[in-house]
Structure 1
């Protein structure tokens, strides 16, 4: 075994701390098409997650976060980029129809695997949400 054997290969989930669990679930399911799912870890509690593709976002209620947690969890501290097969132009139209303000874009950026075209908006906690298409 060498030091080169110690690498990560992907992202399974991340955690968002939210001020209002219902508002967060409503936004991510209604606007971004994610699926809200309840799950029950070994401690017997019920928790909520947002599933999309092969990933999920676990939700923690601010002030009642589950252990272990980030050192300084708080609503509105995330900056997330999501890829979509739907065009950014379609997203701009969809967001407008839903009354969601586009903060910036469409604008070209550099994603993990190359160029992307992105549009930016905010979730109910003020997290920066980027919706992107891969471009050549």
Structure 2
């Protein structure tokens, strides 16, 4: 039996890498990264989202890689009201929320939005964590 420790990275197939980098940097506060061969990504914490253009897929790849097919949940330490304000200030439509859900470690409060490719993005906060000052 093997033991998996954590997710290191995931890959999103996108229509426009520059547009995706801008969204994840400006709206979700992630850090742009460039790898050898001018491959692009965004990082947060100890994770990376590699961004592959649908027109220039990197092999090996998923069987049916298409923009807009992902559903991702990101955890924030910010109060959900702060996230709502930030999304509105950046003219990002909130699809749903705040709503109560169950995350990997317990109850969360979530907001749902979409990235430029139509991927469903959930930004959530664990209900039992006190809101801290997050820069």
Q: CA deviation at 1:7?
A: 2.0
CA distance in 2, matches of 1:103, 1:37: 28
Q: Does 1:90 align with 2:86?
A: no
Q: CA deviation at 1:52?
A: 0.4
CA distance in 2, matches of 1:61, 1:112: 30
Q: CA deviation at 1:63?
A: 2.1
CA distance in 2, matches of 1:63, 1:101: 27
The one of 27, 36, 39 equivalent to 2:32 is: 36
Deviations 1:14-61 (A, max 9, x none): 000000111101100000000111011xxxx22011010110000100
Cross-structure match for 2:115? 123
Which protein has the larger Cα radius of gyration, Structure 1 or Structure 2?
Answer: 1
Structure 1 segment 1-136 matched on structure 2, within 5 A: 3=1, 6-40=2-36, 45-136=37-128
4+ runs deviating over 4 angstroms? none
TM-score by length of 2: 0.92
Listed as ranges, the gaps of 5+ residues in structure 1 are: none
Q: How many residues get paired? A: 128
Listed as ranges, the gaps of 5+ residues in structure 2 are: 129-135
CA RMSD of the aligned region, Å? 0.8
